[in-house]
Amino acid sequence: MSKPSQNSSLENSSPKNTSLKNSSGVIATARLIATKDLRVELRSRVLLNQVVPFSLIVMVMFAFALDSDAVLERVAPGLVWLATLFSVLIMVSRSFAVETADGALDQLRSSGVPAMGIFIGKTVALMVQLLVLVTLLVGAAVVLYRAQVSWSGGVLLVTTAVAATCGLGAVGTLYGGLAAGAKGRETLLPLLLLPVVAPVLIGATRATESAFGTNGIAISEGWPWLGLLAVFAVLFSVAGAVAFGPLLDD
Amino acid sequence: MNTTDTTTAPNSSARDRVTGTAFTRGLGVVILAGMILLVILGLFVSPPDANQGESVRIMYAHVPGAWLAYLAFVVTGISSAAYLWKRTRSLTWDRIAGASAEVGVLFMGISLVTGSLWGRITWGTYWTWDARLTTTAFLFVTYIGYLAVRGLGGTHQQRARRSAVLALLAVLEIPLVHFSVELWNTLHQEASIAGRGTDVEMDGLMLFTLFLGVVVFTLMYVWLVLHRQRSLALDDMLDDSGLDNALTARRAEAQGVAR
Amino acid sequence: MDNAGFIFASYIITFGSVGAYALGVIRRSRKSSRDVPRDQRPWL
């Protein structure tokens, strides 16, 4: 740090300024990375042109496999979230392929950008894209599987989607960072990620069942599951923010 | 080169001590004796259960295996933390974590298979979705992923850091999974097969045999981790010496060119 | 003994796989140690 005698008018001449700079550095970085990722998506439209059609095809394939309207209506919540999970795998790979293609991530790190900021930025971008996806998939479930959403169910559904996609975004970014880059690592992503997101699948599906009113399950029964989703999201957001730096420092 | 080992004949090479020491040899003898005693007691001498009959004998192999799998998981977690903490950073911790994970996967596999066979006899199904079984299966898959990440290459330090972070994330994830599955199961009241051991009335000899099983399996775990950790150290040394040789060769090359 | 097959299979699988793994580790160590000088092993 700078000597106390040097009265520089530049930044970080005192510890207080340093920590301020650091925290604004994290938030500024996060905002930068998030907007960059979303802008890349807007321009390339990979989510719209590839991931969404993929997930819709998955929804159709479920119908072929399960072959019964009654069964489909009953398992619709589960199918929505399964299709989402499969899509997460692709989206995370894509999120990091964008970075590693030109060594952008390595350059970012070596120029001293705070890893926590990169993590938060990528998580937010992933979460936004997932929210779009989940909305479309719920719509598909209403159309294809005859799911029904009431107004109060809708509130539960929205909060569930926010909590679940936050957790998925955090875990996806974290494990995606680990699996990114070197050959042979990307194929590990599904193996690493799917066991970890099991609580999200369980919680989101149960909450969505309440929201749809499947099997006559009351909406009130969905809120505890939301609690589980929220705990998951918080835990992995914190863990990810802390662990992302060491993981990237390969 | 001076050899520091004075307990073996100087020209025994192929058969010389590699990863074994006096301690592990003694331990190995105790384990063999214990195993024989365990098999005799478990398969023949101990009484059959009042409810389950003879099939309870599987318990003496299944329960210790499950306990050791969880112990191995804990050891991997602690060693990973020890590696990441600057003051205790040493690749030995990384190798212990890796060895423990391998042995843990082995015991988890054993526990899942024997548990499945036991379930087939007592409840007619090879599998059930109760929290403990499902969490064990998740732990199994998570550790297979961990071992795969360890095999990704790079420097020893990269491997160590990557897997240490992964192991600690697993420590976070597994209780979450367990809790979620338990919550899920309370919805489906079919899963009343909570504790397999709870409907076994244990008399003195059965309890002793079970206790013996845990002791023998723990000793097996220690023996295996010691040997595997040393084996990994040898592999790492080999890597390093290979790198040294390459560097020496390059320097010799460069000097030759400079002249 | 009924279900004897399952019971014996459990024991054989258990001790058999542990033994197989132990053998594998020892063989692997022997192979690696051929190229590592003896005095570099801190446990000996």
Q: CA-CA distance, B203 to B47, in Å (whole number)?
A: 8
First to last CA, chain C: 48
Instruction: Look up residue C18 and give its amino acid.
Output: V
Residue of B140, B165, B168, B187 to mutate when probing chain A, most A C-beta within 10 A: B165
* Cα radius of gyration rounded to whole Å, chain B: 23
**DSSP structural state of residue B53:** B
Segments of chain A scoring below 70 in pLDDT? 1-24, 181-182, 250
A202 and B184 in contact by Cβ < 8 A? Answer: yes
Q: Tens of pLDDT along B19-53?
A: 788 888 899 999 999 999 998 888 888 888 777 77
Count the domains in chain B.
Answer: 1
**B129 inside domain:** yes
**B17 inside domain:** no
- Round the average pLDDT of chain B to a whole number and report it: 83
Torsion angle, CA of B47/C2/B38/B130, rounded to 10 degrees? -90
Assigned token pair, B55: 């099939």
Q: Residue B14: its pLDDT value, please? A: 40
Assigned token pair, B210: 């079970």
CB atoms within 10 A of CB A67: 9
**B81 inside domain:** yes
B169 and A239 in contact by Cβ < 8 A? Answer: yes
Contact A115, A248 (CB under 8 A): yes
Quick one: which H or E segment has residue A117? helix A115-144
- Cβ-Cβ contacts under 8 Å for A17 (sequence gap 6 or more): A11
Note the helical H segments in chain B: 22-39, 59-84, 91-123, 131-150, 156-187, 204-258
Q: Residue B1: its pLDDT value, please? A: 37
Chain B residues touching residue A232 (CB < 8 angstroms): 176
Contact A131, A161 (CB under 8 A): yes
Contact A192, A175 (CB under 8 A): yes
**Is the CB of residue B238 less than 8 Å away from at least one CB of chain C?**
yes
Which residue range forms the structural domain that includes residue B174?
64-187+202-235
Q: Residue A138: its pLDDT value, please? A: 94
**Is the CB of residue A246 less than 8 Å away from at least one CB of chain B?**
yes
Q: A102 — phi, psi (to 5°)?
A: -110, 20
Chains touching B (3+ CB pairs < 8 Å): A, C
**B183 inside domain:** yes
* Cα radius of gyration rounded to whole Å, chain A: 21
Domain ranges of chain A: 26-248
Contact B126, B119 (CB under 8 A): yes
**B145 inside domain:** yes
Q: Residue B32: its pLDDT value, please? A: 92
Residue of C12, C13, C28, C32 to mutate when probing chain B, most B C-beta within 10 A: C32
Q: Residue A1: its pLDDT value, please? A: 43
Q: If you search the block for the tokens 């001498």, which residue do you land on? A: B45
Q: Residue B192: its pLDDT value, please? A: 46
Q: CA-CA distance, A83 to A138, in Å (whole number)?
A: 11
Q: Residue B200: its pLDDT value, please? A: 61
Q: Residue B121: its pLDDT value, please? A: 86
**B161 inside domain:** yes
Name the residue facing A198 among B148, B165, B177 (closest C-beta). Answer: B177
Segments of chain B scoring below 50 in pLDDT? 1-15, 190-198
Q: Tens of pLDDT along A139-191?
A: 999 999 888 888 888 899 999 999 999 999 999 999 998 887 667 777 889 99
**B84 inside domain:** yes
